[in-house]
């Protein structure tokens, strides 16, 4: 039976739904092998762009024949959870829940053959009746794959055979008060450090009524770094609670720093020192609201957005004596949501050539797909009114997936919504099953294929052939 979330819930679950260990560890940090060409090893791909890496034999993407749905290489039945997995080592890794257990499977990307399945116990009850599966994608780095489950279990496994190397129950260790939809932030690996958004609280806060996050206090464990080989804590920092965004890197003055869009603030973290060096307040006044998009970075400028009250803001970050200064370039000031430039909820927009493309809106009645100028916040065009969607990019083309299963092929241009094909994947083809609502994960692309997910099915489609 198809599982659908209750429509009466005011909040709509946001998915989206991928070292430096301190001064003494910088020189000794492990340098893992680079992911293979055409891999998609973490959420939004390795550079957080939501774009595929084009291989030399692909040719011009614009020359491919996108007119009709392509051949289905394989399909995979999936359990609870809403997201897609990751691709590396010639395989697809899917993280879900089935039979009351969390499950990570390795699938041969060419044949769809199951190579291994690794499970662990799961104890979780959603406050709003949503599925009990993971809220975020795995992260692959070298020969290890890391997952964070809905109940906060951080697990390190071997890519080769799925053997569990270590596991940390972060909710228990850091006294996390359950977020609205559980834990939902993918790990970030920097050298020897696995950096996870935890958002713990004083142990006494466990007595606070469910859903009253306005009464919960942070305890300095917004981000926690663990050693990739042992699970030992390396550092913790940040006074804030967790969100449904993911940590990502930004280069400032030639060095990597970590951005984390948490419940109350956008934080800048120095991973060498393990400390927050600056933050910018950005959250709706509504208790039942969440931040979910991954910050979009262009140089030292960062775009953040939410869909409840604030809209979007572009910040410029500079370092002064080791402190991050975050200044507003532009932001949506009006409380009129219709006047906001971008209201990100279900997905992170895609940036190309100075323009961002993505879904704006909280629910279908107030959503559309739009193009916004990054530097100014000026809306260039809107399309797909009253429909929610996610998007990924390959070359200068967008794969825009509506939540009910229709895939739109759209050129990235600020001149207008230039759609040149749409595929009704919600209807079964001769060689593939249909995908069903909710389709909340953006497609992922690797090599000569791409993966699309619906409620209970992942399908692997060939990229179009040259005409």
106-163 pLDDT, tens digit per residue, is: 999 999 999 999 999 999 888 888 889 999 999 999 999 999 999 999 999 999 999 9
Whether 13 shows a pLDDT value over 70: the answer reads no
Structure confidence at residue 259 (pLDDT): 98
Domain assignment of residue 150, yes or no: yes
Number of domains in the chain: 1
pLDDT confidence bin for 223, thresholds 50/70/90: very high
286-308 pLDDT, tens digit per residue, is: 999 999 999 999 999 999 999 99
Domain assignment of residue 257, yes or no: no
- Strands across the sheet with 449-453, in order? 72-77, 457-462, 449-453, 444-446
Domain assignment of residue 309, yes or no: no
Domain assignment of residue 9, yes or no: no
Domain assignment of residue 117, yes or no: yes
Average pLDDT on 238-244 reads 97
170: domain range? 23-231+341-462
Average pLDDT on 381-392 reads 97
Long-range interactions of 76-81: CB distance < 8 A, separation 24+: 76/107, 76/112, 76/457, 76/458, 76/459, 76/460, 77/456, 77/457, 78/453, 78/456, 78/457, 78/458, 79/103, 79/133, 79/456, 80/3, 80/131, 80/132, 80/133, 81/131, 81/133, 81/134, 81/135
Whether 190 shows a pLDDT value over 50: the answer reads yes
CATH for 449: 2.140.10.10
pLDDT confidence bin for 6, thresholds 50/70/90: very low
Whether 341 shows a pLDDT value over 80: the answer reads yes
34-70 pLDDT, tens digit per residue, is: 444 579 999 999 999 999 987 655 556 877 889 899 9
Domain assignment of residue 444, yes or no: yes
Domain assignment of residue 205, yes or no: yes
Whether 227 shows a pLDDT value over 60: the answer reads yes
Whether 205 shows a pLDDT value over 60: the answer reads yes
Q: Are the CB atoms for 331 and 314 separated by under 8 Å?
A: yes
Structure confidence at residue 400 (pLDDT): 98
Q: Which residues contact 34 (CB under 8 A, 6 or more apart)?
A: none
Domain assignment of residue 399, yes or no: yes
Overall size of the chain counted in residues? 467
Extract the tokens encoding 62.
């614009």
């Amino acid at each position: 039976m198809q599982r659908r979330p209750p429509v009466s819930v005011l909040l709509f679950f946001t998915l989206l739904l991928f070292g430096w260990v301190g001064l003494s560890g910088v020189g000794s940090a492990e340098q893992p092998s680079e992911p293979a060409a055409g891999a998609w090893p973490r959420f939004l791909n390795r550079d957080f762009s939501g774009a595929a890496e084009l291989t030399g034999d692909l040719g011009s993407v614009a020359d491919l024949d996108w007119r009709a749905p392509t051949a289905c290489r394989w399909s995979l039945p999936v359990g609870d959870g809403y997201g897609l997995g990751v691709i590396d080592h010639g395989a697809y890794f899917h993280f879900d829940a089935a039979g009351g257990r969390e499950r990570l499977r390795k699938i041969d990307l060419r044949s769809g053959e199951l190579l291994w399945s690794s499970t662990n116990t799961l104890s979780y009850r959603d406050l709003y009746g949503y599925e009990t599966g993971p809220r975020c994608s795995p992260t692959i780095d070298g020969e290890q794959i890391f997952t964070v489950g809905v109940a906060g279990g951080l697990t390190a496994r071997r890519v080769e055979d799925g053997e569990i190397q270590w596991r940390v129950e972060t909710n228990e260790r850091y006294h996390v008060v359950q977020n609205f939809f559980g834990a939902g932030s993918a790990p970030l690996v920097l050298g020897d450090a696995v950096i996870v958004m935890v958002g713990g609280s004083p142990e006494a806060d466990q007595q606070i009524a469910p859903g009253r996050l306005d009464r919960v206090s942070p305890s300095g464990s917004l981000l926690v770094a663990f050693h990739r080989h042992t699970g030992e804590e390396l550092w913790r920092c940040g006074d804030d609670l967790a969100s449904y965004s993911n940590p990502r890197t930004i280069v400032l003055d030639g060095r990597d720093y970590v951005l984390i869009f948490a419940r109350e603030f956008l934080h800048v973290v120095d991973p060498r020192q393990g400390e927050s060096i600056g933050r910018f307040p950005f959250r709706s006044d509504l208790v039942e609201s969440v931040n979910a998009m991954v910050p979009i970075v262009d140089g030292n400028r960062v775009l953040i957005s939410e869909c409840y009250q604030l809209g979007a803001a572009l910040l410029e970050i500079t370092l002064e004596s080791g402190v991050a200064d975050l200044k507003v370039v532009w932001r949506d000031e009006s409380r009129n949501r219709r006047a906001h430039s971008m209201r990100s909820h279900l997905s992170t927009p895609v940036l190309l050539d100075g323009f961002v493309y993505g879904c704006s809106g909280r629910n279908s009645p107030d959503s559309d797909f739009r193009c916004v100028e990054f530097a100014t916040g000026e809306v260039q065009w809107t399309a797909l009114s009253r429909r929610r969607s996610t998007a990924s990019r390959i070359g200068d083309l967008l794969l825009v997936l509506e939540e009910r299963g229709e895939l739109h092929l759209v050129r990235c241009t600020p001149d207008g919504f230039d759609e040149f094909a749409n595929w009704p994947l919600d209807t079964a083809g001769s060689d593939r099953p249909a995908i069903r609502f909710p389709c909340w994960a953006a497609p992922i692309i690797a090599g000569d294929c791409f993966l699309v997910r619906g409620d209970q099915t992942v399908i692997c489609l060939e990229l179009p052939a040259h005409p």
